[in-house]
Structure 1
Amino acid sequence: MILGYTAAQVRAAEQPLLESGPAGALMERAAFALAVRVGRLLRERRGRVRGSAVVLLVGPGNNGGDALHAGAELARRGARVLAVLTSTRAHDAGLAALVAAGGRVVTVVGEDGVPPAGAGGAEPVWLGDAIAEASACDVVLDGLLGIGARGGLRGEAAELVLLLAELLADDAPGGPAVVAVDTPSGVGVDDGAVAGPLLPADLTVTFGAAKAGLLLPPASGVVGQVEVVDLGLDLVGRTPAVARLERDDVAALWPVPGASAQKYSRGVLGVVAGTAAYPGAGVLTVSGAVRGGAGMVRYLGPPGVTAAVLSARPEVVAGEGRVQAWALGPGVDPHDRVQADRVRDVLGEALVQGLPVVVDAGGLSLLPGRVPPWVVLTPHAGELADLVSVRTDEEVGRAAVEAEPLRWARRARELTGATVLLKGPTTVVVGVHDAVYAQADGPAWLATAGSGDVLTGLLGALLAGRAADVLEDPTLAAALAAAAALVHGRAAERAQPGGPVSALAVADALPAEVAAVLDGRGAR
């Protein structure tokens, strides 16, 4: 499991080390590890460090100091290192180390051509010259802002990053690799928000612990590969702000039948999905449940959709009966009165009986005022925006949700009481006690019609298989939702690595992905 912490938590954990060790020792350890990782990257790209070109984008804080000390180490190994200062201040010891190692230091001049006051002896250069140097090098280190910064980049730093990002985005392959120092400059360290221009990273080398914003969208889409440098921080007793499950974590959560299992003990899922206008939603939802491991699936719906479901999945039982959980809403048009009433009635009965429920798509508008946390909502950004807008006086649009997914997922949870799984390139899950998960396991190809229906069925199967546990421990609902998101995403990659994938292909890949997750684990 990858755990993300807030800036305040990391600072508090760093303080004992700062007080007990020599001045600058923690920065030197972080910078040396950064230099080692950049050196490895240079050897992968050029075959050696000596003769390579590295450009440091340096701001006034400790991230700039880390970049400067790392640049000094790389210069001692034979790299040509250029530090581009964008502020009146820079880390003095880091600057001295870089200059002593043979590195070059320049400062970006403003529109008036005058270097910023306090730039010292740094050579002034025009913004365009600095961008040309950065775009032609092997590795760019982004050390402009650190975890203490608030808001986005400003002034020359903002213009430099904006223009360089545009140039690198339009350039042919073979441009520089971008390495973010601790975090990409301009991302929300605690919430993953993006304020203003930033330079997307190929690699983020973060110190002490992963910062929460690195795991959360939209920042999670620009951090590249994240590697944590262990600085010996004591984070015991500090509740992480966000968690990301990995395969081993999911194996511990997944319901695995024992030798004496039968279909009822494995979990029976009831499904209300699909209408005459959207019959495929019923097929995809039950396919996600069957292929995801439900002991049995019962389907309730119009005769035509029922026929389509049974033709595609003859294992499904049509009609009412005993269930341990429900999956409601995919393909249900709230204006289709019969099927909408069926969703409403089943949901009301499930709440009375205390059964876990997944509610998706058309079912979201049929929710009562408050529901327990073992009801899991699975909206995309547009559906969540509608849900919040209907229940409040706030005018919320899809773009607002996409800009601050964590904020609005929390808001939806506050308004409904449910566990909320907000689908997206990085899926955010918010549960009781503000438990937050962020899963980024699927390829971009997973953004395809019907994939959410498969996820609803898969999560429903999980809830049915662990229904008693979820009712006893409501925090489990969020963990199971995150587990379903991981398996769903990896099944998409398994179905067609590197290429387009259909929703039904994702469902068909679920058994192999579940087997891979459970590999080496015994029965529960």
Structure 2
Amino acid sequence: MRTAYGVETVRTAERELMARLPEGALMQRAAAGLAAVCARLLARHRRVYGARVVLLVGPGDNGGDALYAGARLARRGAAVTAVPMDPERMHPGGLAALRAAGGRVEPTVPQRADLVVDGLLGIGGRGGLRPAAAALVERIPAGAPVLAVDLPSGVDADTGEVTGPAVTADVTVTFGAYKPGLLIDPGASHAGAVHLVDIGLELPEPELEALQHTDVAALLPQPTASSDKYRRGVVGVVAGSAQYPGAAVLAVAGALRGGAGAVRYVGPAADAVLARYPETLVGPGRVQAWVVGPGLGEGRAGEVADLLAGDAAVLVDADGLRGLDPAVLRARTAPTLLTPHAGEAAALLGVAREAVEAGRLSAVRRLAERYGATVLLKGSTTLVASAGVRAVRVNPTGTPWLATAGSGDVLSGLAGSLLAGGLSGADAGAVGAYLHGLAARRAGGPLVAHQVAEALPAAWQDTTRT
């Protein structure tokens, strides 16, 4: 599992480690790892020897990391030029090392570069780039690959928020631990490929978790020789309407491929569901988990309330999210999973959609605590938070082609089926999102929602291959 930690947590761990190491040793570890990644990038297109490397240097330790790494590259024959944001505040040790290795300091960004290293702000930056830094970034040569040191400058390390100008990197080399801003959009879209350099930090419980194949494989419910369809779990789907029968079909499609033993449909779109999936059970009956909301339309809040009053796990999506009473959800003892997109989350919080999109991590945490539930916030970065739990799950799979009508209905059915199979709300949401994104990658693009459902068995198998 990939884990991420906030700035203060990382800095505390760094201080504790520095107290046990010779002065400057930690920065040298970081610089060595940074220089190694720089060298690998340069070697893809040419040799390190003779390569033109430009360092954009800020006044803090981030700039020091860049300077020491630049010195290592210069000793291997690279032509390294440092361009300071503030010439009077460059890291003195790093500057001396660069000059001793043959590197230069120039006031302006050269017009040609084989690699540009962003060492302006790092994890301490807040609120976007200041004018002096933004002016340097604007002069980066067109087409030059950009490598960010620890974090693209202008991205908030703790939240991924970007509130002003920011560096867009092709590669980010981060030290000691992933930071939330590298995994959550919009920051994640600025980071490019992320490389972690282990510098020996001892870290506590993470703030963010990202499942990987092995984690998903370990969580997926698997039938045994004694299994029957009822022991494997039955998921009920309350979805669809005369106006939106397809939502019911797609939710059932996701549910059928989520590992539950049976899918029971209750609603007005039974004919459409059975025409596509005759294996579906129709009508009331025993279930372990309900999926309610996709395509319900207006005037059916009573159905949602009835399910929430029961003792089965409930996933609430789409139209089912309207008018939810936090007190009712907090009083439930069975798992409750809410799956809003940004607009629905904004309505649940009483804020503008833009506020949710700009601060996805804080929004999903607030939703989970307000409603006493697990919340899966859909979007370019899907997040899963549970009330009272520190770590938020971030989904690493997916593709922009998932922004298509009905894909959320498939996800709801899939995650509901995992709930019925015995997974917790957090695990059902995180595993469902992971498989959903993996299936979309397999389906390619452009895609439509039913193709995601059809690709789920292959995505499931992908996670279990060794």
Matches within 5 A, 1:50-89: 50-87=49-86, 88-89=88-89
Question: C-alpha separation between the residues in 2 aligned to 1:347 and 1:19?
Answer: 53
Judge conservation of contact 2:301–2:320 (CA < 8 Å) in 1.
Answer: yes
| CA deviation after TM superposition for structure 1 residue 138, in Å | 1.4
Matched residue type, 1:255: P
- Quote the residue 2:324 is aligned against: 367
| CA deviation after TM superposition for structure 1 residue 147, in Å | 2.3
| CA deviation after TM superposition for structure 1 residue 223, in Å | 0.9
Q: Any idea what the Cα deviations from partners look like across 1:357-403, whole Å, max 9, x if unmatched? A: 111000001423331472111111011111111xxxxxx21111110
- Quote the residue 1:140 is aligned against: 116
- Judge which range, 457-466 or 81-90, deviates more: 81-90
The SS at the match of 1:292 is coil
Question: C-alpha separation between the residues in 2 aligned to 1:232 and 1:343?
Answer: 50
Total equivalences in the alignment: 460
Judge conservation of contact 1:218–1:404 (CA < 8 Å) in 2.
Answer: no
Q: Any idea what the Cα deviations from partners look like across 1:428-478, whole Å, max 9, x if unmatched? A: 111132330111300111111111000000000000000xxx5xxxxx321
1:187 has 2:155 as partner: yes
- Judge which range, 14-23 or 2-11, deviates more: 14-23
- Quote the residue 1:322 is aligned against: 286
Matches within 5 A, 1:253-402: 253-302=219-268, 305-333=269-297, 335=298, 337=299, 339-348=300-309, 350=310, 353=311, 355-370=312-327, 371=329, 372=332, 374-389=335-350, 396-402=351-357
- Quote the residue 1:414 is aligned against: 369
Matched residue type, 2:89: R
| CA deviation after TM superposition for structure 1 residue 263, in Å | 0.3
Judge conservation of contact 1:388–1:412 (CA < 8 Å) in 2.
Answer: yes
Judge conservation of contact 2:56–2:136 (CA < 8 Å) in 1.
Answer: no
- Quote the residue 1:202 is aligned against: 170
- Quote the residue 1:452 is aligned against: 408
Q: Any idea what the Cα deviations from partners look like across 1:169-194, whole Å, max 9, x if unmatched? A: xxxxxx11111101111111112111
| CA deviation after TM superposition for structure 1 residue 310, in Å | 0.6
Question: C-alpha separation between the residues in 1 aligned to 2:223 and 2:443?
Answer: 25
Matched residue type, 1:43: A
Judge conservation of contact 2:254–2:413 (CA < 8 Å) in 1.
Answer: yes
- Quote the residue 2:456 is aligned against: 510
| CA deviation after TM superposition for structure 1 residue 20, in Å | 2.2
The SS at the match of 1:265 is coil
1:244 has 2:201 as partner: no
The SS at the match of 2:125 is coil
Matched residue type, 1:50: Y
RMSD value over aligned CA atoms?
1.6
The one of 419, 427, 432 equivalent to 1:484 is 432
Question: C-alpha separation between the residues in 2 aligned to 1:400 and 1:8?
Answer: 24
* Structure 1: unaligned runs, 5 residues or longer: 108-124, 169-174, 390-395, 471-475
Q: Any idea what the Cα deviations from partners look like across 1:464-507, whole Å, max 9, x if unmatched? A: 000xxx5xxxxx321321111111000000112xx311110000
Question: C-alpha separation between the residues in 2 aligned to 1:347 and 1:279?
Answer: 23
Judge conservation of contact 2:211–2:396 (CA < 8 Å) in 1.
Answer: no
- Judge which range, 411-420 or 398-407, deviates more: 411-420
Question: C-alpha separation between the residues in 1 aligned to 2:372 and 2:16?
Answer: 39
The SS at the match of 1:153 is coil
TM-score (normalizing by structure 1): 0.85
Question: C-alpha separation between the residues in 1 aligned to 2:14 and 2:399?
Answer: 36
Matched residue type, 1:96: A
- Paired-residue identity, %: 55
Question: C-alpha separation between the residues in 2 aligned to 1:326 and 1:367?
Answer: 16
The one of 106, 118, 130 equivalent to 1:154 is 130
Over 6 Å off, 4+ runs: none
Question: C-alpha separation between the residues in 2 aligned to 1:397 and 1:164?
Answer: 35
Matches within 5 A, 1:221-236: 221-235=189-203
Matches within 5 A, 1:423-462: 423-432=378-387, 433-462=389-418
| CA deviation after TM superposition for structure 1 residue 411, in Å | 1.7
Matched residue type, 2:162: V
Matched residue type, 1:177: P
| CA deviation after TM superposition for structure 1 residue 219, in Å | 0.9
The SS at the match of 1:421 is strand
The SS at the match of 2:326 is coil
The 3 A distance-change label for structure 1 pair 164 and 463 is: farther
- Judge which range, 262-271 or 440-449, deviates more: 440-449
Judge conservation of contact 1:293–1:511 (CA < 8 Å) in 2.
Answer: no
Judge conservation of contact 1:435–1:478 (CA < 8 Å) in 2.
Answer: no
Question: C-alpha separation between the residues in 2 aligned to 1:321 and 1:74?
Answer: 68
The SS at the match of 1:480 is helix
| CA deviation after TM superposition for structure 1 residue 158, in Å | 2.2
| CA deviation after TM superposition for structure 1 residue 340, in Å | 4.1
Judge conservation of contact 2:307–2:314 (CA < 8 Å) in 1.
Answer: no
Matched residue type, 1:377: L
Judge conservation of contact 1:292–1:514 (CA < 8 Å) in 2.
Answer: no
Q: Any idea what the Cα deviations from partners look like across 1:205-256, whole Å, max 9, x if unmatched? A: 1111111221222211211111111111122xx1101111111111111111
* Structure 2: unaligned runs, 5 residues or longer: none
The SS at the match of 1:487 is helix
Judge conservation of contact 1:332–1:340 (CA < 8 Å) in 2.
Answer: no
Matched residue type, 2:205: T
| CA deviation after TM superposition for structure 1 residue 341, in Å | 3.2
| CA deviation after TM superposition for structure 1 residue 164, in Å | 4.4
Question: C-alpha separation between the residues in 2 aligned to 1:308 and 1:361?
Answer: 20
Question: C-alpha separation between the residues in 1 aligned to 2:73 and 2:134?
Answer: 26
